[in-house]
Homo-oligomer: A and B are copies of this chain.
Amino acid sequence: MTPPSTPARVGIIGANGYGGGELSRLLSRHPGVELVGFSSRQFEGQPFRKAWPNADLEGTFENAQAVTERADIVFLALPNGLAMDLVPPLLAAGKRVIDLSADYRLPPEVYAQWYGKTHTSPELCAEAVYGLPELNREALRAARLVANPGCYVTATALALAPLARAGLIEGSVIVDGISGISGAGRNAAEFSFAEANENVQAYKVAGTHRHTAEMEANLARAGQEAVVTFTPHVAPYTRGILVTAYATPARPVSEAELLELYRAMYADEPFVQVLEGELPTPKAVSGSNRCDVAVRFDARARRIVAFGAIDNLMKGMAGEAVQNLNLMLGLEETLGLPRWGMWP
């Protein structure tokens, strides 16, 4: 597959947050697209480097309209609740949209229940394609509107999907997640260094975190319904998520058999790596679009323990969005996406 002669024109709305910044970095180097603009309300009219001292990109933040007019494909990297108003006119104008927020990830009534807000473009929720290529690849190719998954959700879905596909889960599932602090966004005032350092915190526990609904939807998507108890934690590092998930097997299994399920499901996946002797860690995938997974069996307790690690800003956000873009454009799925990040 070769890049088309005319690269697709892409634009980013909300390029001053972590998702938008990472998108800018990936798309400005992407050989199959042309980055035609980026917007920010906070930085409108200022050079890109004002927001991103690390960047190597000329140009100035514009307003959203200026960017979307020039783009064929629009990435929305905004806080939850804004995309649902912006998407309908974009689709009407013939644009394709990749939305990094939660707005189109769930059916409107489930959205209302978890996000406490009535959806303003509910009719598009059914059309939106959930952007997890490993569970949804074919549908993504033709998508007009992609709902990019949540960060914890991607790691959890890939850690548990082989079990759900094999119908191996009995009863409910426990998901214990640990996130670096970039997951809270760039303006997370409650995570000042001196307060957040030398600590680890659980938050939104016991069935109150919104990603729970999306995790349950993915188990169903993979083949098996199950209730999830999700406990997110935040630890003092910058990038990455590690998920440790627990399931009771529906029938007798061995660790070797479990491993075989994982290997089989992910054999051809460019961005999922099944580890055997080692366990996934965020450091090993930092800066990469890879998700590392592993599975173990605690025979004494008859319990499956599954692990997944991602870079929350790459495979958990901007990298996954670019992977979806590649599918939408018929490009090589790995184009512009590193599998090898930095260590240390």
The verdict on A180 contacting chain B, using a C-beta distance below 8 Å, is yes
A240: chain B residues at CB < 8 Å are 198-200
Q: A89 to nearest B CB, angstroms?
A: 32
A338: chain B residues at CB < 8 Å are 56
Are A344 and B198 in contact, with the CB atoms below 8 A?
yes
Contacting chain B: which of A90-98, A280-288, A325-333?
A280-288
The verdict on A235 contacting chain B, using a C-beta distance below 8 Å, is yes
The verdict on A205 contacting chain B, using a C-beta distance below 8 Å, is yes
A202: chain B residues at CB < 8 Å are 242, 244, 279, 307
Contacting chain B: which of A5-13, A131-139, A298-306?
A298-306
Are A300 and B227 in contact, with the CB atoms below 8 A?
yes
Contacting chain B: which of A74-82, A160-168, A170-178?
A170-178
Question: A239 and B344 in contact (CB under 8 A), knowing A244-B231, A279-B205, A305-B206?
Answer: yes
Query: A340 CA to B279 CA in the complex, in Å?
Result: 30
Per a CB cutoff under 8 Å, which of B184, B206, B279 touches A201? B279
Per a CB cutoff under 8 Å, which of B187, B195, B278 touches A344? B195
B-contact bits for A185-202, CB 8 A (1 contact / 0 none): 011110111111111111
Query: A191 CA to B181 CA in the complex, in Å?
Result: 13
Question: A236 and B342 in contact (CB under 8 A), knowing A198-B198, A282-B200?
Answer: no
Are B54 and A288 in contact, with the CB atoms below 8 A?
yes
Query: A233 CA to B52 CA in the complex, in Å?
Result: 21
B-contact bits for A244-255, CB 8 A (1 contact / 0 none): 101000000000
Are B282 and A207 in contact, with the CB atoms below 8 A?
no
- Beyond A198-B198, A200-B281, 11 extra complex contacts between A and B, CB < 8 Å: A25-B340, A54-B285, A54-B343, A178-B233, A188-B192, A193-B196, A194-B238, A198-B239, A200-B237, A206-B298, A227-B300
Per a CB cutoff under 8 Å, which of B189, B207, B342 touches A299? B207
Question: A199 and B342 in contact (CB under 8 A), knowing A54-B285, A54-B288, A192-B191?
Answer: no
A178: chain B residues at CB < 8 Å are 178, 200, 233, 235
Interface residues contributed by chain A, number (CB under 8 Å): 82
- A197, closest chain B residue (CB): B238
Are B298 and A229 in contact, with the CB atoms below 8 A?
yes
Are B238 and A198 in contact, with the CB atoms below 8 A?
yes
A264: chain B residues at CB < 8 Å are none
Are A191 and B188 in contact, with the CB atoms below 8 A?
no
Q: A281 to nearest B CB, angstroms?
A: 5
Query: A201 CA to B235 CA in the complex, in Å?
Result: 11
Q: A114 to nearest B CB, angstroms?
A: 11
- A342, closest chain B residue (CB): B287
A54: chain B residues at CB < 8 Å are 283-286, 288, 340-343
Query: A200 CA to B302 CA in the complex, in Å?
Result: 26
Are B181 and A193 in contact, with the CB atoms below 8 A?
yes
A184: chain B residues at CB < 8 Å are 194
The verdict on A152 contacting chain B, using a C-beta distance below 8 Å, is no
Are B281 and A206 in contact, with the CB atoms below 8 A?
no
